[in-house]
Amino acid sequence: MTPAEQLAAFLQQVPYLRYLGMRAELAGDEMTAILPYRPDLIGNPNIPALHGGVLGAFLEMTALAQLAVVERSSRVHKTIDVTIEFLRPGRPVTTYARADLRKVGRRIANVHVEAWQDERGSPVAALRGHFLLSERP
């Protein structure tokens, strides 16, 4: 499978991604995840701000999508642990994210993800996590 086919398969494999409407674009070896805004993703209607669980899931799924492209497997890799930093409220606009695979070993990957809205230099949230790599096909 090509990286684009592997990414498309991953996006169809996880039902929550379909619910969120998350998509991703590949440009060479860089993947950008996209979370289109929908009113039902708001957690605090007073601000309004995206729900923290939605942002956290988006970050985690971005990491897993990047791993699916680079470390091909027929199954979704498993999350060991994640730390999420909420840096500012996620406004009701489209949100983007990119994952940086800091270290990919034989069994475990260390990944850093940043999400932004208008300017990549002003992230709204970040994730640092460890993921257990599935057996390769």
pLDDT in tens, the chain (137 residues): 788 888 888 899 889 999 999 999 998 878 999 999 999 999 988 889 999 999 999 999 999 999 988 887 778 899 999 999 999 999 999 999 999 999 999 999 999 999 999 999 999 999 999 999 977 65
What is the predicted pLDDT for the residue at 136? 60
Task: Describe the crossing of helices 3-13 and 52-70 by its angle, rounded to 10 degrees.
Answer: 140
Residues 58, 96, 117, 132, CA torsion sign = positive
Phi-psi region at 14: left, alpha or beta (left = phi > 0; alpha = psi -120 to 50): beta
What is the predicted pLDDT for the residue at 30? 85
Rounded distance, CA 94 to CA 91, Å?
8
**Three-class secondary structure assignment of 40-69:** HHEEECCCCEECHHHHHHHHHHHHHHHHHH
Q: Are 24 and 66 in contact (CB under 8 A)?
A: no
The helix (H) or strand (E) run that includes residue 6 is helix 3-13
> Could you give the domains of the chain?
3-132 (3.10.129.10)
pTM of the predicted structure, to 2 decimals: 0.93
Quote the DSSP letter at residue 134. P
